[in-house]
Amino acid sequence: MNKILIMGPQGAGKGTQAEILAEKLKIPAISSGSLLREEIATGSDLGCEVTKFTEAGTLVPDELMVAIIKKRLAQPDAVNGWILDGFPRILSQVELFLNFVQPTNVILLKLNDENSVERLSGRLQCKECHQGFQEKFVPSKTHPFCDVCGGELVRRSDDTPEIIRQRLQIYHKETEPVAKKFEDMGILSRIDGSGTIEEVAELVAGVFVTN
Ligand code: AP5
Ligand code: MG
């Protein structure tokens, strides 16, 4: 059973590649950030609490994050495996996570900060179907609307230069040691995330062909 983590800096393509791999392996792609944004969209008390952190580009407290992930992985669609993007991203979360699940593979998408900022500055998402676009690299033919469903394209509120810098800083300080931990466990594959979406997808798929 595939229990796959996708890690990498902001804009490395975690969400993009998780969706492509999920389609190939016929398992769900689960994004910690998307789970939080869905909770915020409900307007619940939990969502209001979470917004304080996501809007500032800082990490949501571990207990809260672990509870949300645990609940999602227990859903029926995840019984035959899953791909999880964005969690765990700090060593304390790794410890809590390994108490209830053992991942089989960890993919680390590598990208330098300059490219991260460039990609995120032009990221757009459909308000209705959540399809992702990028102004320069993955433009919508019907901009500012979605090619798939005609919905309005919007920017993520944490994709401003200042918040992107804050998120990258936390990545380098808190999340890089997480990659080292999985490397020591012998389950980490480092993948160059700087190519086109198709090129990166091929490199990612290669990890599973050889396994
Ligand atoms: P999250 O939503 O996970 O954001 P992130 O880690 O900052 O990552 P991104 O979603 O920005 O990047 P991505 O790698 O998914 O890139 P994408 O595929 O979209 O987290 C948001 C917030 O939630 C955090 O800041 C935190 O507050 C909270 N949070 C989440 N997890 C948490 C946790 N575990 N603990 C505590 N708090 C947590 O691609 C980016 C763009 O580039 C897109 O426009 C795409 O179309 C384009 N693109 C992708 N690949 C390519 C390519 N190869 N070439 C050109 N363009 C490309
Ligand atoms: Mg993402």
Structural domain harbouring 14: 2-112+176-210
Q: Decide if 123 is catalytic.
A: yes
Prediction pTM value:
0.96
Q: What pLDDT, in 10s, does the model give residues 132-167?
A: 999 999 999 999 999 999 999 999 999 999 999 999
Beta bridge partners, 85, equal 6, 31
34 occurs within a structural domain: yes
Upstream peptide bond of 76 is cis (omega within 30 degrees of 0) = no
Q: Which atom of ligand 1 is nearest to the CA of 163?
A: 25
Q: 202 pLDDT exceeds 60?
A: yes
160 occurs within a structural domain: no
Confidence tier at 210 by pLDDT (50, 70, 90): low
Quote the pLDDT of residue 88: 98
How many domains is the chain built from?
Answer: 1
55 occurs within a structural domain: yes
Active-site residue, from 156, 165, 181, 190: 156
91 occurs within a structural domain: yes
Higher pLDDT, 190 or 210: 190
Q: Which atom of ligand 1 is nearest to the CA of 194?
A: 53
